[in-house]
Structure 1
Amino acid sequence: MWGMASQRSRRTKVQRGVVATLSSGALRVRVDAGLDPDTKKRHRLTEIIPSDTPDEDAEADKARIRLVNEVHERRNPKARATVDQLLKRHLGDFGGAWSTEHNYRNLWANHVSPFIGTVKVGELDADILDSLYAELRRCRDHCTGPFTQHRTDHQHECDRRCGPHRCKPLGVSAIRQIHWLLSGAYRRAVRCKWVTTSPIDDAEPPPTPPMPQPPTTAEAARILNEAATSDLDWATLIWLTMTTGARRHELCALRWTDLEVDGEYAVLSITRGISKDADGQWAELGTKTHQQRRVTLDAETAQVLAEHQDRCRYRVAKIGLELAADAFVFSAEPDYGRFLTPGSVTQRYSRMAERLGVETTIHKLRHYSATELIKAGADINTVAGRRGHGGGGTTTLKVYTAFVSEADQRAAGQLQTRMPERDWTHADPVERAKTDPHAPYERIAAAIRTQVLSGALPDGAQVPTVKDLAKEQGASAGTVNRALALLRDWGLVREGGRGRRAIVVRPQQDWFEQAAAEDDAGTPAEAASPSGAIPLDLRLLYLGEEVRRLDANADRTDVEQLNRLLTGAARRYAGGDVAFGDYELEVRRGDSSELVTVFTAL
């Protein structure tokens, strides 16, 4: 017994770690840390002690002990992988949406890999991350000096879009997304035992902006009315965004089957969104938070949608079809059979806001809806439910908010009182373009209209060729063709036959147009009015339903006058080729609304 104990006490303890002298005189300390879980090779921790270090032997022994303790406490990195290798593995097994993965890969390639891609996963720390975030806030292009920034990397002729580079910081949202990308990747690294702790927890991404910046009520009214002057369908989409706070991809996915009319109110079910699928193709997928919700609409919004549905039915009927029950609410197709893409909505809204000089985005309309509801005293949980926020904090909010109809109806009524006045019920973009053209094709059409009315282009003359007009106006052939189509809607040109140019049709001025012109010139309008003219209340009927009202001084017994009024009103309402047999003109006295007659086209 004593002999065995004595033998154990004399056993020499094995020292872990090796200190070797290099040819330069420096000391290399190396400690074995086991197998690399990625490469399955031996992983060794190494530290170099320079030759000019005072008492280098003692320093080398301290380094060896420190590395051994790291191995014992499992604080050492188990892999030699770089940040690029970690992100490649992390995104290779990513289970999120295609658009999220695509965005992460772009951020990795453009902003992460150039700076920290070659850094070992175990060497990344909070100081390196803070330096990365500071660089991203300086310049999103990571410039090192002045240079000319071109609009494309391909061969091109420089224009106003090419010029000296101006530093622009990367957005706060993008930097925060980089932080969450690295955070998720390092959580995976900890699970795989590549590292024992994540350095991302010690770094601080830039905070989110403290206050939303929705447009003011005056700006919202300008945006709505500008949209209405160009396209009532577009104005309807803007209105619905402001009242429901729905996301753009949710609005693009709306079908008429999602709208349920319940008495005074209507209920909109938001269950889908337009996003890219695993193949990178646009498709109907789930919402951002993968939750369904029902939003109660106020009476005004329900009326806006009813008017929009009537317009859709009319357009589809013009091509000989019937609007499908599950047709998309917003579409660029004649039969409303395909959805709009979210990107096209954003681009169109941005161009409109820039034209108005309003600094806003379509996403901020969601802020407008929320802030106006809160100002009106709506419950916070109800606001969160209408906006589709997934982080409500309670099971009741997450699951049942969409079905709390009483609170939702109260919120809808509160929002209606704070919405800007809608002044676009009878807006007609075809008529508006005559005096207030916005788009390039409208300006070209208005210029040709002026030439026709002034006599510069006489009745029966041939319109210049598309090629000549494109060269004269500095526009594309497509823009000129759209201008000619608008002129046909105005009744100022007609087709000249196959292979022939369009023919000018100079309209005869109606007696009431002459009276207006003379009145503007200083001549009393009554002097030009025909005998028997009285104020009339005229109502245009399409297939028996009233679609427009107008007032005029006319002779109720003059068939020619009534025919011109009917055809002109129908053409302004429908545009393009009009089936006048589907229209009637209800003629009433202006002073008493007494029905005089119902006139049909000759």
Structure 2
Amino acid sequence: MTSTSRSKRKGRGEIERLPSGSLRVRIYAGTDPVTGKRHRLEEIVPAGPNAEDDAERALTRLLSQRDEQRNARTRATVNQLLDRYFALTRVEQTTKENYESLARLHIRPLLGDVSLAKINGETLDSFYNVLRKCRARCQGRKYIEHRTDRPHKCDEKCGPHKCKGLADGSLRKIHAVLSGAGKRAVRWGWLGVNPFGQADPLPAARPHPKPPTADQAAKIATQAWKDLDWGMLVWLAMVTGARRGELCALAWDRVTLKPGAGVLEIRSSIAQRGGRTWEKDTKTHQQRRITIDDATVGLLAAYQRRCAQRAGLGEEMPGDARIFSNSPDGSRWLKPDSVSQRYARMCARKPLEWDMNIHQLRHYSATELISAGVDVTTVGGRLGHGGGGSTTLRFYSAWVSEADQRAAGTLSTRLPELPVALDPAGALKSTVQAAEDTQYKRIAADLRGAIVCGALKPGDTLPPFAELASRYGVAFNTAQRAVKVLKSDGLVTVSRGRRAVVASPDTRRAQSDVVSLQTRRRAT
């Protein structure tokens, strides 16, 4: 300590005056578990008349923070945490490589050198905001994006950079990496609390797949069967709903080709990263048996004979031979990415010209099963979902448009007749008034006929409005309207509080003259 500095010890903390006049508050917070060095928490209090009091409060706050174990117990950076996390975390290889790629491209460039002690809610909000705006983190810079980093001649694929943020799915994976690493750091004693938990929770994914319609599926199958090998793969994807990697891993000893007892066993899957492929467990680490119909059993049996004859092996393929392979003996599996690319190209070409992917055939299989009335637990079992069908309900049952249409059709037959209709121009028009017009005119015509034929003689009273309404099944006002027409024609007389009375011929003529006079006056 210099001669211009002095220190004041208080328990386990220290307040030191710096040459500038500011006060440095420092406490011992244990040994850094990463470096093995003594770890201290520090805070600088600016010089001022209340600096001493502010320093005392800062000292108390730091001591409380340490005692409550809310402090970072290490000066390690996010990069150091991620290195240790990936070294010790045991997850599926493809998942781990995907997470490492996200860390390399997006986490380390922005947060890698930041000390864990400085990670807070504001830092995380800023981090995610940058990624949402532009995955290249251009910060408004204008530059040319080239299709490759290697020397090349620019074409239409090279052009001005356009900002494109990371998708919500990628952001959720990044949050999973950081949150998982933070939890490990707490367990290892690096941190008191997980700082990455301060980020706002990202919205849950909303599934919006679009399975092919029945008509589209028929056209896809027709197009695929132009190549028998390719047609068999696409057909099996439709029938079983298996994932592309599971289809690539299928071998002949995993199929039972007996009519009435056809079964397909899903035991493994093919994973791919770049040009490298390997066989692994299924996504949910479950093996499953899928029953197949007799038509598919017959197709697979014929396909096996075709493959065996092509390889010069007689009528059957070896049990370990892959069902779908580019080698005649089935010794090599197909690459999942190649399957996806071929399917997308087939759908994009004429006569289909659709933007589709092969995973939608899985959606199609689930949709058709649920539409047919199969319970979701069985559907989930065929698809290899965990959770006893909860995943199936959450991700598939909402898209059963065919079943929904049938439900709507059933309901429509039980609904009352609509009081609206479309006019010739296609506009919506209420039929309520039209129906009432027809009803009151019918009542007036019936009463008029009774008066003309003598069934109702002059001086006779008409039935009460309530009786007319009940007899014709109309509203009270409709009956009143019918009698009002008879009054305007001079056929009846109406007095307040009394029933309508059939008028005498003289009264009718007088009323007719009055009506004619009023009509002429209105005309002039």
1:299 — aligned with what? 294
Question: CA distance change for structure 1 residues 357 and 324 in 2, over 3 Å: closer, same or farther?
Answer: same
Measured after TM superposition, the shift of residue 265 of structure 1 is 4.2
1:335 to 322, 329, 332: 329
| More moved, 146-155 vs 114-123 | 114-123
What 5-or-longer segments of structure 1 have no aligned partner?
1-12, 398-413, 419-602
Which whole-Å deviations, capped at 9, do the CAs of 1:402-460 have from their partners, x for residues lacking one?
xxxxxxxxxxxx99xx9xxxxxxxxxxxxxxxxxxxxxxxxxxxxxxxxxxxxxxxxxx
1:358 — aligned with what? 354
| 2:225 partner SS | helix
Measured after TM superposition, the shift of residue 299 of structure 1 is 2.7
Q: Kindly indicate whether the alpha-carbon contact (under 8 Å) linking 2:304 and 2:315 is maintained by their aligned counterparts in 1.
A: no
Question: CA distance change for structure 1 residues 197 and 357 in 2, over 3 Å: closer, same or farther?
Answer: farther
Q: Within 2, Cα distance between the matches of 1:43 and 1:115?
A: 25
2:192 to 180, 184, 196: 196
1:75 to 70, 73, 76: 70
Residue type of the partner of 2:97?
A: H
Q: Within 1, Cα distance between the matches of 2:316 and 2:304?
A: 12
2:148 — aligned with what? 152
Q: Kindly indicate whether the alpha-carbon contact (under 8 Å) linking 1:139 and 1:169 is maintained by their aligned counterparts in 2.
A: yes
Q: Kindly indicate whether the alpha-carbon contact (under 8 Å) linking 2:347 and 2:356 is maintained by their aligned counterparts in 1.
A: yes
Q: Kindly indicate whether the alpha-carbon contact (under 8 Å) linking 2:69 and 2:193 is maintained by their aligned counterparts in 1.
A: no
Question: CA distance change for structure 1 residues 225 and 363 in 2, over 3 Å: closer, same or farther?
Answer: same
2:366 — aligned with what? 370
1:437-476, aligned counterparts within 5 Å? none
Q: Within 2, Cα distance between the matches of 1:210 and 1:102?
A: 25
Question: CA distance change for structure 1 residues 210 and 321 in 2, over 3 Å: closer, same or farther?
Answer: closer
1:435 — aligned with what? none
Question: Who wins on radius of gyration, i.e. which is larger?
Answer: 2
What 5-or-longer segments of structure 2 have no aligned partner?
1-8, 392-401, 407-524
- TM-score under structure 2 normalisation? 0.67
1:107 — aligned with what? 102
Measured after TM superposition, the shift of residue 326 of structure 1 is 2.6
2:19 — aligned with what? 23
| 1:295 partner SS | strand
Measured after TM superposition, the shift of residue 321 of structure 1 is 10
| More moved, 213-222 vs 340-349 | 213-222
Q: Within 2, Cα distance between the matches of 1:133 and 1:378?
A: 42
Q: Within 1, Cα distance between the matches of 2:149 and 2:283?
A: 34
- TM-score under structure 1 normalisation? 0.59
Question: CA distance change for structure 1 residues 290 and 85 in 2, over 3 Å: closer, same or farther?
Answer: same
Q: Within 1, Cα distance between the matches of 2:136 and 2:358?
A: 26
Determine whether 1:66 maps to 2:61: yes
Residue type of the partner of 2:150?
A: H
Measured after TM superposition, the shift of residue 386 of structure 1 is 0.9
Q: Within 2, Cα distance between the matches of 1:141 and 1:23?
A: 44
Q: Within 2, Cα distance between the matches of 1:133 and 1:392?
A: 35
Which whole-Å deviations, capped at 9, do the CAs of 1:527-559 have from their partners, x for residues lacking one?
xxxxxxxxxxxxxxxxxxxxxxxxxxxxxxxxx
Q: Kindly indicate whether the alpha-carbon contact (under 8 Å) linking 1:265 and 1:296 is maintained by their aligned counterparts in 2.
A: yes
1:47 — aligned with what? 43
Measured after TM superposition, the shift of residue 252 of structure 1 is 0.6
2:173 — aligned with what? 177
Measured after TM superposition, the shift of residue 29 of structure 1 is 1.1
Q: Kindly indicate whether the alpha-carbon contact (under 8 Å) linking 1:90 and 1:188 is maintained by their aligned counterparts in 2.
A: yes
2:221 to 221, 224, 227: 224
Residue type of the partner of 1:335?
A: D
Q: Within 1, Cα distance between the matches of 2:358 and 2:121?
A: 35
Question: CA distance change for structure 1 residues 259 and 146 in 2, over 3 Å: closer, same or farther?
Answer: same
1:189-588, aligned counterparts within 5 Å? 189-203=185-199, 204-229=201-226, 231-275=227-271, 282-317=277-312, 323-355=317-349, 356-392=352-388
Q: Within 2, Cα distance between the matches of 1:310 and 1:149?
A: 51
Measured after TM superposition, the shift of residue 276 of structure 1 is 6.0
Measured after TM superposition, the shift of residue 393 of structure 1 is 7.7
Q: Kindly indicate whether the alpha-carbon contact (under 8 Å) linking 2:209 and 2:360 is maintained by their aligned counterparts in 1.
A: yes
1:444 — aligned with what? none
1:97 — aligned with what? 92
Residue type of the partner of 1:328?
A: R
Q: Within 2, Cα distance between the matches of 1:176 and 1:304?
A: 43
Measured after TM superposition, the shift of residue 157 of structure 1 is 0.9
Question: CA distance change for structure 1 residues 55 and 14 in 2, over 3 Å: closer, same or farther?
Answer: closer
Residue type of the partner of 2:100?
A: R
Q: Within 1, Cα distance between the matches of 2:198 and 2:388?
A: 27
Question: CA distance change for structure 1 residues 361 and 169 in 2, over 3 Å: closer, same or farther?
Answer: farther
Measured after TM superposition, the shift of residue 334 of structure 1 is 1.9
Which whole-Å deviations, capped at 9, do the CAs of 1:300-347 have from their partners, x for residues lacking one?
332332332233123223x99973233111001122211112121122
Question: CA distance change for structure 1 residues 360 and 377 in 2, over 3 Å: closer, same or farther?
Answer: same
1:525 — aligned with what? none
Q: Kindly indicate whether the alpha-carbon contact (under 8 Å) linking 2:258 and 2:297 is maintained by their aligned counterparts in 1.
A: no
Percent of counterpart pairs with the same letter?
A: 48
Q: Kindly indicate whether the alpha-carbon contact (under 8 Å) linking 2:262 and 2:292 is maintained by their aligned counterparts in 1.
A: yes
| More moved, 56-65 vs 322-331 | 322-331
Question: CA distance change for structure 1 residues 221 and 393 in 2, over 3 Å: closer, same or farther?
Answer: closer
Question: CA distance change for structure 1 residues 338 and 20 in 2, over 3 Å: closer, same or farther?
Answer: same
Residue type of the partner of 2:187?
A: R
Measured after TM superposition, the shift of residue 385 of structure 1 is 0.9
Measured after TM superposition, the shift of residue 14 of structure 1 is 4.9
Question: CA distance change for structure 1 residues 169 and 358 in 2, over 3 Å: closer, same or farther?
Answer: farther
Residue type of the partner of 1:366?
A: R
Q: Within 2, Cα distance between the matches of 1:127 and 1:143?
A: 21
1:139 — aligned with what? 134
| 1:122 partner SS | helix
Residue type of the partner of 2:224?
A: A
| 2:151 partner SS | coil
Q: Kindly indicate whether the alpha-carbon contact (under 8 Å) linking 1:98 and 1:276 is maintained by their aligned counterparts in 2.
A: no
Question: CA distance change for structure 1 residues 373 and 136 in 2, over 3 Å: closer, same or farther?
Answer: farther
Measured after TM superposition, the shift of residue 173 of structure 1 is 2.4
Measured after TM superposition, the shift of residue 40 of structure 1 is 0.8
2:160 — aligned with what? 164
Q: Kindly indicate whether the alpha-carbon contact (under 8 Å) linking 1:321 and 1:335 is maintained by their aligned counterparts in 2.
A: no
| 2:117 partner SS | coil
Q: Within 2, Cα distance between the matches of 1:119 and 1:392?
A: 43
Q: Within 2, Cα distance between the matches of 1:98 and 1:84?
A: 21
Query: How many corresponding residue pairs?
Result: 383
Measured after TM superposition, the shift of residue 111 of structure 1 is 0.8
Question: CA distance change for structure 1 residues 125 and 387 in 2, over 3 Å: closer, same or farther?
Answer: farther
Which whole-Å deviations, capped at 9, do the CAs of 1:207-250 have from their partners, x for residues lacking one?
21244332333333333223223x22112212211221211111
Q: Kindly indicate whether the alpha-carbon contact (under 8 Å) linking 1:175 and 1:206 is maintained by their aligned counterparts in 2.
A: no
Q: Kindly indicate whether the alpha-carbon contact (under 8 Å) linking 1:316 and 1:322 is maintained by their aligned counterparts in 2.
A: no
- Give the CA RMSD over aligned residues: 2.9
| More moved, 298-307 vs 75-84 | 298-307
Measured after TM superposition, the shift of residue 75 of structure 1 is 1.2
